[in-house]
């Protein structure tokens, strides 16, 4: 079935450093790859997404890259700040067997002062 | 702003009880979803619906059923609750039928089955 693998499960960086989270997906027909951020005790919220016709997308300090050939995509956060501390989920939209969004297992990012 | 409301923030139920989790969205969205969130397992899709009275199984539908009698309301039903259904349940909605687009999540229901 459809599968999204996410690494690492935990990531600790110093404030101001960059953070990178990587995901791979199984279905080559997937065409939409969002990233959600979930702060402690809060609901997941979309922070950035990319579609399969684009290789990279940026929004201020965050960027996402997509390699369709290798079936992997990554989230990059530059100049990390304490408020970036959260759980981040990648996801892939699978078009076979009923269009649905499958999530990765999450990355707990901690930005230390 | 889209509002997705889940009826309970915390629920405690006994093994074998029938449990209803309710979700309402106020933006006339076509699609609604139920996920469960467990540490280390991420968000796993239980059921989803792209239209009134329509439902599709997600990745882990066993032990659950759903009901969508009205467009704005999507209910998750645990016919006979078991301890392994203790989890955080998240409802979500999105606008266009079957489209790949942003999900709006509710604040979640933490269910404990004793």
Q: What is the pLDDT of residue A15?
A: 97
Give how far A33 is from chain B: nearest CA, Å. Answer: 9
Nearest to B103 among A2, A101, A102 (CB): A101
Q: A45 at the B interface (CB within 8 A)?
A: yes
Determine the residue among A40, A44, A52 to mutate to test chain B binding: the one whose Cβ has the most chain B Cβ atoms within 10 Å.
A44
Per-residue confidence (pLDDT) for residue B105, from 0 to 100: 97
Confidence of residue B2 (pLDDT cuts 50, 70, 90): low
- What DSSP letter does each residue of A64-109 carry, written as one string? EEEETTTTEEEEEE-S--GGG-EEEEEEEEE-SSS-EEEE---EEE
Closest-CA distance of chain A to residue B102, Å = 7
What is the structure's pLDDT at B100? 80
Kindly report the average pLDDT of chain A as a whole number: 93
Mean pLDDT computed over A52-60: 91
Quick one: average pLDDT of A31-37? 96
What digits encode the pLDDT tens for the residues B11-26? 999 999 999 999 999 9
Cβ within 8 Å, pair A42-B107: yes
Residue percentage of chain B with pLDDT more than 90: 87
The residues that bridge with B74 in the sheet, in sequence order, are: B23
Is the minimum CB–CB distance between B105 and chain A shorter than 8 Å? yes
Chain B nearest-CA distance from A43, in A, is 5
Of B48, B105, B106, the CB nearest to A100: B48
A54 vs B: CB within 8 A:
no
Residue among A46, A49, A105 minimizing CB distance to B41 = A105
* Contact indicator for A92, A102 with CB cutoff of 8 Å: yes
Query: What percent of chain A has a predicted confidence (pLDDT) above 70?
Result: 97
pLDDT of residue B96: 82
Tokens of B108: 């979640």
Reported confidence tier of residue A1, pLDDT bands at 50, 70, 90: low
Average pLDDT for B32-59: 93
The nearest CA of chain B is from the CA of A92 a distance in Å of: 9
Position A29 scores a pLDDT of 83
**Within an 8 Å CB–CB cutoff, is residue B35 touching chain A?**
yes
pLDDT at A80: 98
| B77 Cβ neighbours under 8 A, 6+ residues apart | B18, B19, B20, B21, B64, B65, B66, B67
Interchain proximity B45–A101, CB inside 8 Å: yes
Percent of chain A with pLDDT over 90: 81
Length of chain A: 113
| Model confidence band, residue B66 (pLDDT cutoffs 50, 70, 90) | very high
């Amino acid at each position: 079935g459809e599968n999204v693998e996410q690494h690492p499960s935990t990531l600790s960086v110093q404030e101001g450093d960059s953070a990178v989270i990587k995901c791979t997906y199984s279905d080559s027909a997937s065409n939409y790859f969002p990233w959600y951020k979930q702060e402690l005790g809060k609901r997941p919220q979309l922070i950035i997404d990319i579609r399969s016709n684009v290789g990279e997308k940026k929004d201020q300090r965050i960027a996402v890259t997509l390699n369709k050939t290798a079936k992997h995509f990554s989230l990059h956060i530059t100049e990390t700040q304490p408020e970036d501390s959260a759980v981040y989920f990648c996801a892939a939209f699978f078009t076979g067997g009923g269009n649905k969004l499958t999530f990765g297992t999450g990355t707990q990012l901690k930005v230390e002062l | 702003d889209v509002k997705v409301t889940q009826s309970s923030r915390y629920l405690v139920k006994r093994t074998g009880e029938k449990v209803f989790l309710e979700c309402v969205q106020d933006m006339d969205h076509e699609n609604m979803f139920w996920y469960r969130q467990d540490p280390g397992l991420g968000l796993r899709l239980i059921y989803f619906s792209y239209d009134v009275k329509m439902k599709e199984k997600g990745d882990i539908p066993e032990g659950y059923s759903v009901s969508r009698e009205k467009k704005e309301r999507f209910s998750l039903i645990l016919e006979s609750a078991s301890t392994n259904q203790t989890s955080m349940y998240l409802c979500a909605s999105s606008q266009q039928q079957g489209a790949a687009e942003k999900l709006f999540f509710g604040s979640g229901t933490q269910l404990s089955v004793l």
